[in-house]
């Protein structure tokens, strides 16, 4: 079991995992998200690998102020075994290593399971409203 930085050749398997975990949406391109994070100066994609199979992944990065994570995913057949916690620790270590001291993240309102998971990792409601706006001219249909 190891956490490592993804490479371009992991893209298909990572997106299959994000799909299997119900994290992709038709109005967002996971391919663009993967490429943008992997090639950006302040972001990456981490994968959790077991026996040469990717069983977990997250996109992590910072905006020069706060860190964030997206697409936090553990394959359905490996959930509930502590791997999500391991992945979050790796993402937090990645951010700490770049001098980031706080993480904010978005959870869709209907995903109460994920909220309970994050609360276990020490995350709490920040009493904020998340606002968003698309800059590519497409219709805004989602929170992220």
Given candidates 24, 104, 111, 144, which one binds ligand COA under the rule CB under 6 A? 111
Q: Taking the C-alpha atoms of 111, 135, 7 and 61 in order, what is their torsion angle to the nearest 10 degrees?
A: -60
Tell the smallest beta-carbon distance from residue 134 to ligand COA (Å).
Answer: 20
Residue 25 contacts ligand COA per CB under 6 A:
no
Tell the smallest beta-carbon distance from residue 21 to ligand COA (Å).
Answer: 4
**Segment interacting with ligand COA (CB under 6 A) among 5-13, 39-47, 91-99, 114-122:** 114-122
Residue 72 contacts ligand COA per CB under 6 A:
yes
**Segment interacting with ligand COA (CB under 6 A) among 41-49, 71-79, 92-100, 134-142:** 71-79
Given candidates 35, 104, 107, 144, which one binds ligand COA under the rule CB under 6 A? 107
Burial class (CB in 10 A: 0-12, 13-18, 19+), 9: exposed
CA distances from 116 to 21, 44, 74, 104, 129 (A): 16, 25, 15, 15, 19
Distance in angstroms (rounded) separating the CA atoms of residues 101 and 97? 10
Token duo for residue 35: 């490429």
Residue 3 contacts ligand COA per CB under 6 A:
no
Token duo for residue 84: 């999500």
Residue 79 contacts ligand COA per CB under 6 A:
yes
**Are 142 and 27 within 8 A, CB to CB?**
yes
Distance in angstroms (rounded) separating the CA atoms of residues 21 and 127? 27
Q: List residues near ligand COA by CB under 6 A.
A: 21, 23, 72-74, 79-85, 107, 111, 113-114, 116-117, 120
């Amino acid at each position: 079991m190891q956490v490592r930085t993804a490479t371009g050749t992991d893209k298909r398997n990572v997106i299959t995992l994000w799909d299997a975990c119900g994290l992709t949406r038709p109005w967002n391109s996971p391919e663009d998200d993967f490429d943008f994070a992997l090639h950006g100066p302040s972001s990456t994609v981490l994968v959790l690998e077991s026996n040469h199979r990717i069983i977990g992944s997250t996109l992590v990065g910072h905006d020069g102020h706060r860190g964030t994570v997206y697409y936090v995913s553990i394959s359905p057949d490996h959930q509930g075994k502590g791997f999500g916690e391991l992945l979050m620790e790796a993402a937090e270590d990645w951010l700490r290593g770049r001098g980031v001291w706080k993480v904010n993240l978005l959870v869709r309102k209907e995903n109460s399971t994920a909220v309970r998971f994050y609360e276990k990792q020490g995350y709490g409601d920040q009493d904020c409203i998340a606002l968003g706006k698309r800059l590519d001219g497409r219709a805004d249909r989602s929170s992220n």
